[in-house]
Amino acid sequence: MARRRTATRPPLPLRDGLGPDRLQLPAGHPVATVGAYLTGVAPEDDWDGRFAAGEVVDRSGAPVAADTPYRPGLVVHFYREPPAETAVPFEVDVLHHGDGLLVVDKPHFLATIPRGRHIRESVVVRMRRALDLPDLVPVHRLDRMTAGVLVCTTDPALRRPYQQLFEQRGVVKEYEAVAPYVPDRTFPCTVRSRIDKRHGEPTAREVPGEPNAHTEIDVIEAEGDHARYRLRPVTGRTHQLRLHMASLGLPILGDDFYPTLRHRAPDDFTDPLRLLARSVRYTDPITGDLRVFTSRRTLSGEPPRPDDLDFTRPAG
């Protein structure tokens, strides 16, 4: 049985599915107090109200006053209201809830974790609110544009064993994609390449060198100019499946990144990436049981109509 470790809780509880921000005061600032520094960092925020409510605290949870002397290295926690977001009009389907796990069927366009421009519109925040699960954390990632099976833990003691399971490639993942069909191409096939993803750049690229990405690809069925493909990633590099399909001359339908970058408006929920995390299979690190979770969603080769946005809801 895997050894359990307890995760450190933030000193302020979740509020509406969101945890507090954390800020470490840097060196080299001439201000005299914590209040003066925070007001300078975010002058539009209601710092007087936060300090009065005791909602600026240190690591131990003790309130920090506005006139607390500025000390480089001091860590403070506080709530911030995220900016307004465009609501994603698709639901999260629950596949399993119990034994310290929540397994969901994520729709396209919904982020996995709160980050950047997508905070409330993320699986983590939605499900923390909907199911009152303050300790919900995903143990792997799905791109915002990819739908399908996402495994989360709800018990902090289980977080590390399941994260290690995914990190150490103890999980068999199967994806499906819709892409162009080329009759004279031979399948199944194996694609190995070296993928480089630079920080701050939206796309990754294949470069010369020792392969660090490996995908097994086969055709499930073909219809007309398109086919449904089965993708089995042996490794888990950023954008690996998109890049490997594009390298075969078979870019996945609806891809905003490959082979060319396409900019999409925040409220454009048409033409999704036709990539679905169909299933995960693994030996449970706690019980030793074989577990398989399978998406109930379907992929369509045709772009949906703008007034018919329920194509990513569970089928059947």
Distance CA 197, CA 204 (A): 4
Q: Report the 10 Å Cβ neighbour count for 256.
A: 17
DSSP state of 91: P
Token output for 162: 């399941």
Q: Which of 105, 143, 155, 255 is catalytic?
A: 143
Write the DSSP string, 58-86: -TTS-B--TTSBP-TT-EEEE--PPPP-P
Q: Does residue 143 have an active-site annotation?
A: yes
- How big is the chain by its Cα radius of gyration, in Å? 22
> Which of 230, 197, 199, 196 is CA-nearest to residue 211?
196
Q: If you search the block for the tokens 């049985």, which residue do you land on?
A: 1
The three-state (H, E, C) secondary structure of 12-47, written as one string: CCCECCECCEEEECCCCCCCCEHHHHHHHHCCCCCH
Distance CA 233, CA 142 (A): 13
Token output for 127: 């499900």
Please give the positions annotated as active site.
143
